[in-house]
Amino acid sequence: MSDRGCSHLNAITAVKQPQRRECGECVKIGSSWVHLRTCQQCGVTLCCDSSPNRHASKHANATGHPVIASAQPAERWLYCYPDDAFCEY
Closer to Zn ion at the Cβ: 26 or 87?
26
Q: Hey, which residues between 2 and 31 contact Zn ion (CB under 5 A)?
A: 6, 8, 23, 25-26
Say if CB 66 and CB 82 are below 8 A apart. Answer: yes
Say if CB 23 and CB 52 are below 8 A apart. Answer: no
Q: Is 41 in the site for Zn ion (CB under 5 A)?
A: yes
Nearest distance from residue 81's CB to Zn ion, in Å? 8
In this structure, what is the dihedral angle of CA atoms 44, 49, 51, 56, given to the nearest 10 degrees? Answer: 20
Q: Is 56 in the site for Zn ion (CB under 5 A)?
A: no
Closer to Zn ion at the Cβ: 3 or 75?
3
